[in-house]
Structure 1
Amino acid sequence: MTTSLCIGPRCGGQEGPREADTGRLICAGCTSRLRRDIGITPTLQRWLGHHLAPGAGAGPKVSGSRDAPVPVRIDVIDHQARIGDVLKSWVWLIAEHRGLTYPAVTTVDEVAPWLERHVDWATTRPWIDDMCAELDELRRVAHRLAPWRVHVVELDGPCPSCDLRALIRTSGETYIECDVRVGGCSALWTDDEYLAKVTSMVEVESQ
């Protein structure tokens, strides 16, 4: 039976793209990554909200009135707006294609769970690579504007997919991933998924 390769951006890292799941255009790892990138957007919004003042990172700023200057980072404000705009654009597309009613409340806290509920369907659409790329970009830019590196923990043990010791967990997120920045394969798991893989590997080695 012919298999198709995942069209998710950066799938597999240096190893190249993995096989897409049956009936989908992306693999299980890229599907999990998309869920992570959608689910983290409300946290990104709040995190950026705590980094509006200059000094929290590089970027231009603007002041308020001459009597009471209120320095604000324009780049952070712009990205907060972009997070909302990108999520709403995908909600609109999916609602239109599926004949659904567009959500009455369109805050990031409201539309992110709405999008997550439609991820499985979205993985069958030819534009899923664009959706993955845009959501990934939202997260990466937010981390660049207000770095979370001090909150990234390097985990012991090799990656179950590529055997490289490149596993990390970012504070505030519920996924373990194989970091492509150090040559990892970009695989992504929830805690339960990772535990199940490790348990299976141990059982095989003990036989």
Structure 2
Amino acid sequence: MNDICLSCFARLPDDSPRTGCEACEYRLHTWLRELPRHLPLLQDMLRPDTGPAQRGGTGRAHAPLPVRVDVLDLLGPGAPVLLADPHGDQTGGVPMTALLMGWARYLAAEIPAVRVDAHGTIHIERCEAPGLRGGADVARLCRWLDAYLPYAATRPWWDDAYDQVEQLLHRVRRLTHTKPLTRTKDAPCPECQGWSLVEKEDELHISCTLCPARLTPDEYATHRAQVMPALAALTLNMITPKPEAEAAA
């Protein structure tokens, strides 16, 4: 058993079977939900941008490729691990489907498959692949992995899966120019009293940008219910015209 999360090094509860904390599990959960949403945009980006014909030479010895290689590197087939590159002339990384399928196979291999034959005998066998109906595309693989995250968060390889999915999503976001949605909360921070609490789409906790304070959604709701009525009353008192001021006017 670990005392700290293998991904963020946060303190884990005593005697916890976890190797990844709840916050990191939630973060990976949101990443797996986000990845399929990028597919339509990536597919649209696969074809290089076209423009008006230009006169003169382009400096190319051959015609350009009909697809964007950086996008194809994400959408195309490939191995679930990086191949040896002794000459250092390879770029890119593991494609989306290959990486997700690699982790799905690895996880499935740790979970025994149980079947009962025609004679009623129970057989426990090694599971070779995840059970996916309709094909192993990105959306189905993400849903399958998401369903097994509570188990994955107890395994010694948790940080490897976490890091690789994070790196994959960074590659995708770099191409699609997207980033997680961030919302500013209206209640002040309970520790530094600053108006600096933010909620990020891929974070379990609401965090302060000025101090280390972190609140769960329930903790923030309780805090907001305690402080906002008094702040609202103070604001109304400040903006409401006073009778003495009206009489003097």
TM-score range, shorter chain: 0.5 to 0.7
Compute the displacement of 1:107 (Å). 1.1
Compute the displacement of 1:166 (Å). 6.5
Compute the displacement of 1:96 (Å). 0.8
Give % identity. 22
Question: 2 CA distance for matches of 1:139 and 1:161?
Answer: 33
RCO comparison, higher one (Cα < 8 Å, 6+): 1
What's the counterpart of residue 184 of structure 2? Answer: 155
What's the counterpart of residue 39 of structure 2? Answer: 45
- Counterpart of 1:29, as a letter, is A
User: After superposition, where does 1:15-94 map in structure 2 within 5 Å?
Assistant: 17-20=9-12, 22-55=16-49, 71-81=66-76, 82-94=95-107
Is the 1:168–1:178 contact (alpha carbons within 8 Å) kept by the matching residues of 2?
Answer: yes
Compute the displacement of 1:50 (Å). 2.3
Is the 1:164–1:184 contact (alpha carbons within 8 Å) kept by the matching residues of 2?
Answer: no
Question: 2 CA distance for matches of 1:85 and 1:160?
Answer: 45
Q: 1:95/1:161 Cα in 2 relative to 1: closer, same or farther (>3 Å)?
A: farther
Q: 1:52/1:159 Cα in 2 relative to 1: closer, same or farther (>3 Å)?
A: farther
Q: Does residue 143 in structure 1 map to residue 173 in structure 2? A: yes
- Cα offsets for 1:146-178 (capped at 9, x unmatched): 1015x84542446789988373556xxx76776
What's the counterpart of residue 148 of structure 2? Answer: 118
- Counterpart of 1:199, as a letter, is A
Q: Which residue of 136, 147, 151 maps to 1:106?
A: 136
Question: 2 CA distance for matches of 1:164 and 1:85?
Answer: 44
Question: 2 CA distance for matches of 1:83 and 1:184?
Answer: 36
Q: How many residues align?
A: 178
Question: 2 CA distance for matches of 1:51 and 1:161?
Answer: 45
- Per the normalisation by structure 2, the TM-score is 0.57
Is the 2:46–2:67 contact (alpha carbons within 8 Å) kept by the matching residues of 1?
Answer: yes
Is the 2:32–2:146 contact (alpha carbons within 8 Å) kept by the matching residues of 1?
Answer: yes
Q: 1:175/1:25 Cα in 2 relative to 1: closer, same or farther (>3 Å)?
A: closer
Compute the displacement of 1:183 (Å). 8.3
Higher helix content, 1 or 2: 1
Question: 2 CA distance for matches of 1:201 and 1:88?
Answer: 42
Structure 1 unaligned spans of 5+: 12-16, 57-65
Is the 1:154–1:168 contact (alpha carbons within 8 Å) kept by the matching residues of 2?
Answer: yes
Give the match's secondary structure for 1:121. Answer: helix
Give the match's secondary structure for 2:45. Answer: coil
Is the 2:33–2:143 contact (alpha carbons within 8 Å) kept by the matching residues of 1?
Answer: yes
Structure 2 unaligned spans of 5+: 51-62, 77-94, 114-126, 230-249
RMSD: 3.9
